[in-house]
A = this chain, B = another copy of it.
C-alpha cells in the first residue's frame, strides 16, 4: 500500500469511528453528513471522497462490528476447550468487545433496520455465522453431558444475546464495575441455568 493509499485508509477509519460515535448518540437518521464532517474538521463534500454514501457508512460500521466479533469468537472456537469453558469465553468476549467498541456495536444492534436490503443480507449472514458459534457449543455441551438437555440451544442463545446486548442501553465507563467484572458476572449468571449440577 502506497503512502497515499495508507493515508486514505486511515482517513476512512477515522470517518467510520466518528460516524459510529454520532450514530450511536443520535441515531442514523438524526445524524447528518455535515455533522460527521464538522467533527472531523472536514467539509461535507470531502467526506464523499472517501465514502460512496451515507448508507454505506452505516454498512461499514455494521460490518466492522461484525468482523470484530467474528474474529475474536473464531479465535476462541479454534481453541481446544470443554464446552462450558468455551461458552463462558464466548460470552466474556462478547461483553468485552461490546464495551471496547461501544459505538460500533451499538450501531450494529440499534440501527440495522436503516440498512438497505443488500447490505442487510450481508450483515445477517455474518450474524448467523456468529450466533452459530454459540448454538454449536451449546449442542456440543448437551452431547457431552455438561449442559442440561432441557434447554433448547436456540432459546438459550437468544436469552444470552438479549441479556448481553442490552448492555448498550446502560453501560457507562464511569460505572462501578470494571469490564472484566461485568464479563464474569454475565457469564456466571447466564451459564448457571444450563450447567448440569451433579
Contacts and interface: CB of A to CB of B under 8 A. Distances in A.
Interface of A: 26-30, 110, 113-114, 151, 155-156, 158-167, 169-170, 185-186, 188-190, 192-193
A46 to B, nearest CB: 16
A151 B30 contact: no
Contacts of A185: 155
| A contacts with B: majority SS | helix
Contacts of A156: 189
A185 B155 CA distance: 9
Contacts of A161: 166
15 contacts: A27-B29, A28-B29, A29-B114, A30-B114, A155-B189, A158-B163, A158-B166, A158-B167, A158-B170, A162-B162, A162-B163, A162-B165, A163-B163, A163-B166, A189-B193
Contacts of A159: 163, 166, 186, 189-190
Contacts of A165: 162, 166
Contacts of A151: 189
Contact of A114 (B27, B164, B167): B27
Contacts of A158: 163, 166-167, 170
Given A26-B113, A27-B114, A114-B27, A162 B167 contact: yes
